[in-house]
Amino acid sequence: MGLLSDPNRRRALIGMLTRLNAPICMICYMAGVAWFMGLAFEPFTLRTYMSENAMGSTMVEERFPAGERALATGREFAAHKKKTGGMPVDWLVRTMQARGLEVYTQRFSRKLPFPDEDKERYMVKGTNVYGILRAPRAPRTEALVLSAPCSPGNENNQAVGILLGLAQYFRSQIYWAKDIIFLVNEHDLIGMQAWLEGYHHTNTTGMDWSPLQGRGGSIQAALSLELSSDVVTSLDLVLEGLNGQLPNLDLANLFYAFCQKIGVLCTTQGKLPRNDWDTTSGYSHAVQTMMLMVLKQASSRPWGDHGLFLRYHIEAASIKGVNSFRPYKTDATTVGRLLEGMYRKLNNLLERLHQSYFFYLMPSLTRFVSIGYYMPAFGLLALILLLRALDLWVQLSSPPTRTTEDACPPLCPLSAPQPASPGVLSILTPLVISHLTGVALYTLPVLSQELAVEHFPVSETEAVVLTAIAIYTAGLALPHNTHRLLAGEGTEQGWKVLKLVAVLYLAVLLGCTALINFSLVFPERGLLVGVNDPGLTLLFAVFFFQELQETPVTLQEGWMLYLSVISQGILDHALYGSLLYPLAALLVYPCWLLFWNILFWK
């Protein structure tokens, strides 16, 4: 700081920074990317460890015996589901009551803003059924949740079976200190959203639900189970929740600890942890796992039923059973024992999970990168923007002074505001216009769907997506024409002011996003490299994600996927309050339009 207070040295420093601006930016960029890729390199990461004392030292014995019976219950559930053509509410209530739980139901209904073609639903009506196992001698202040979705078709029957089996087994144990809520939710996330809103008596998304009759106090942790086969080869842990929120790392550690203890293969992002970090394939495996996590987190959508719990400060994760062609299989009893162990450890918790990290990336299930390690990568990238801004600022304030300074010292204070005032005015126009375009992109697609359906031969969903794309593309043409109409001149000065504002805008935007959802910064970073379209970035991300998941798609399929991703993004915002769509439409897109404007300034 002393360096900056000394005018001579400050001038020298600034001179150096402006002279070497481009090379420094390049170095920062390379260093940032290299740092980020280095995060997946095993020697640079930390091994996961259990931070919470209450879950660490006391080992529990898992004794759940009734896997086969649970599967039989699952088959019975499937039969009743087929018979009623939906959630077998009466059967579930009776079965849970027979297992000694307090059973309640909740009805909900929701009209989507436009039909969801992926899941084929528009007017959603359903019922959640949940049973509460009251802990002995506990005053209903704390609870744990185990949920399984009632999915259409033949999916997740085994999950419901194991849930009921565990309920029966847990009911006969005395050691529970927290109430355990067994929840079967219909219409996956919509049902879960209704239940959580009912439980906490909030209404953020305008859904209709009937109030809950029974509660168990504040929920400490939740697990959501998805299982569609009698035997599994591995269990996959899903952590990414709404708006990129993650549960406390201890929950992942707990899962991993029990997988190790019981001997179940466990994965995250569907990728097994590998030991050969020093080989190229081992490293690229870690990079793939981490990039998958980054992309999923950046998508801001809940990747399992657990995702909505995180908003309520409830640590939650989904466990998905995977049945592949690997020969070694795990039966339902073992899955039940794993869950039993996890619940007994969670039951031992005295405080909420808070000891471990909330911000992390996982290159494998055994390794993690904490916020302290990945933030420098972002810092290096953000530095480029600040250096650029500094360069522009110096150029704006100093270049003419070299010649005019000695000639007219009294005139300079007068001439300084003169170039600034048209600059401010001229950038105001593109700023306002690009933001108005952003507002149009945010509001019009859903509002104008009826109009579009009337005049074009498309379905409502297509109408919404195509309107969005149309407004988006129209936005490209608008601003650089209008600013000429309004401001009339494209001065060099104005161009620089606009660029300065745009660069600072992007820096602030990135800084704020990095604090909320770090992964989102990297797609946004695309804007940095010049003319990289947010739409194209999304398209690229879709292909990249499919590539990472080892399910490459053709161009045609990719395009369809792209369209559905857009519609899902809008739906996520309307249904669960995901912030990606408003962020992209109201802030990122206008910011990018500013850059677009700069490109077409002259």
Partner 1 sequence: IANSYNRPTLIQLQNTREEEEEQQTTAQQEEQTKRWEATELEEEHVHDAAVPPLAGDPPAADPPSPPPSKDDFQEELVIRPLHSGDIYASFQFRTVWDADFMGDQKVSHYRLFPKSLGQVITKFSVRELHISFTQGYWRTMQWGQPYLPSPPGAELWVWFQDTVTDVDGTWKELTNVLSGIFCASLNFIDSTNTVQPSASFKPLGIGNVTDHSFLRYATLPREIVCTENLTPWKKLLPCGSKAGLSVLLKSEKLFHSTFHSQAVHVRPVCQDPQCRTTSMELRQTLNVVFDLHTSGQGKREWSLFKMFSRTLTEACPLASSSKVYVDVTDNPQGEQFELSPATPLLTQAVVLGDRRTYSVYDLTQQASFGSSRSLNMLLRWKMLRPLLHSERYVAGYGLQAGEIHTLIYNHHPYRAFPVLLLSAVPWYLRLYIHTLTVSSKGKDNRPSYIHYQPSKDRERPHLLEMLLQLPPNSVTEVTVEFERALLKWTEYTPDPNHGFYVGSSVISALVPSVVAMDTNSTLDRPLFSSFFPCKEEASYFMRVYTEPLLVNLPTPDFSMPYNVICLTCTVVAVGYGSLYNLLTRTFQVDEPSPGLAKRIANVIRRFRGVPLL
DSSP run (H or E) holding 556: helix 555-576
Cβ–Cβ contacts within 10 Å for residue 443, how many?
A: 13
Q: How far is the CB of 137 from partner 1 (least distance, A)?
A: 4
Given a contact cutoff of 8 angstroms between Cβ atoms, the answer to whether 584 and 431 are in contact is no
Distance CA 335, CA 346 (A): 17
Q: Calculate ∠ Cα 201-207-213, nearest 5°.
A: 40
Question: By CB under 8 A, how many residues form the interface with partner 1?
Answer: 38
Cα distances (Å, whole numbers) of residue 531 to 393, 469, 597: 22, 18, 11
Q: How far is the CB of 350 from partner 1 (least distance, A)?
A: 6
- Which DSSP state fits 587? I
- Selected binder of partner 1 within 352, 458, 486, 533 (CB under 8 A): 352
Given a contact cutoff of 8 angstroms between Cβ atoms, the answer to whether 595 and 526 are in contact is no
Residue 178 or residue 483: which is nearer to partner 1 going by CB? Answer: 178
Query: Which residues inside 75-114 make contact with partner 1, applying CB under 8 A?
Result: 100, 102
Query: Which residues inside 143-172 make contact with partner 1, applying CB under 8 A?
Result: 171-172
The percent helix, strand, coil of the chain (3-state, each to 5) is 60, 15, 25
- Selected binder of partner 1 within 69, 121, 125, 200 (CB under 8 A): 200
Q: How far is the CB of 178 from partner 1 (least distance, A)?
A: 10
Please state whether beta strands 315-322 and 218-226 pair in parallel, antiparallel, or not at all (unpaired): parallel
Distance CA 211, CA 53 (A): 37
From 77-85, 199-207, 403-411, 535-543, span contacting partner 1 (CB under 8 A): 199-207
Nearest to 108 by CA among 213, 205, 203, 190: 190
Q: How far is the CB of 213 from partner 1 (least distance, A)?
A: 8
Query: Which residues inside 117-136 make contact with partner 1, applying CB under 8 A?
Result: 134, 136
AA letter at 525 = R
- Selected binder of partner 1 within 116, 142, 230, 340 (CB under 8 A): 142
From 195-203, 263-271, 316-324, 476-484, span contacting partner 1 (CB under 8 A): 195-203
Nearest to 504 by CA among 381, 388, 377: 388
Distance CA 207, CA 198 (A): 10
Distance CA 512, CA 370 (A): 18
Query: Which residues inside 56-75 make contact with partner 1, applying CB under 8 A?
Result: none
Q: How far is the CB of 218 from partner 1 (least distance, A)?
A: 5
Q: How far is the CB of 51 from partner 1 (least distance, A)?
A: 9
Residue 355 or residue 546: which is nearer to partner 1 going by CB? Answer: 355
Distance CA 71, CA 162 (A): 7
- Selected binder of partner 1 within 85, 139, 206, 410 (CB under 8 A): 139
Residues present in the chain in total: 602
Residue 109 or residue 218: which is nearer to partner 1 going by CB? Answer: 218
| Token reading at 452 | 């579009």
Nearest to 535 by CA among 569, 508, 572, 562: 562
Which x/- pattern over 278-317 shows residues binding partner 1 (rule: CB under 8 A)? ---------------------------------xxx----
Query: Which residues inside 360-399 make contact with partner 1, applying CB under 8 A?
Result: none
Residue 7 or residue 43: which is nearer to partner 1 going by CB? Answer: 7
Three-class DSSP category at 331: coil
Distance CA 422, CA 494 (A): 7
Residue 171 or residue 484: which is nearer to partner 1 going by CB? Answer: 171
Residue 174 or residue 414: which is nearer to partner 1 going by CB? Answer: 174
Binding status of residue 7 toward partner 1 by CB under 8 A: yes
Query: Which residues inside 310-349 make contact with partner 1, applying CB under 8 A?
Result: 311-313
Q: Which residues bind partner 1 (CB under 8 A)?
A: 1-2, 4-8, 10, 100, 102, 134, 136-142, 171-174, 200-202, 213-215, 217-218, 311-313, 350-352, 354-355
